[in-house]
Amino acid sequence: MNNQISYKYEVQGSDYQEKLSSGTWNENDKRILGNIDFHRNAARTTFYLFIALIVVRVGLSIATSHSTQRGH
């Protein structure tokens, strides 16, 4: 839903629906849509990397706390 709104603002307003149905995008529109797409993918990748880092970090801290308890 949010992406649709940003499309409408980026690709000049009222003729958005018209362009969408006819498929007549000019180069600037294509560039903008490409950018939006790129940023969406980049954000998704960053999100997954962030989750992976947290998982690894939690795993490491659990492992470390276990090994220190075992050591005592």
The percent of residues above 90 in pLDDT, for the chain, comes to 29
Q: Which pLDDT value is given to residue 22?
A: 74
Between the CA of residue 61 and those of 48, 51, 68, what are the distances in Å?
20, 15, 11
Q: Which pLDDT value is given to residue 26?
A: 83
pLDDT 10s digits, 61-70: 888 887 776 6
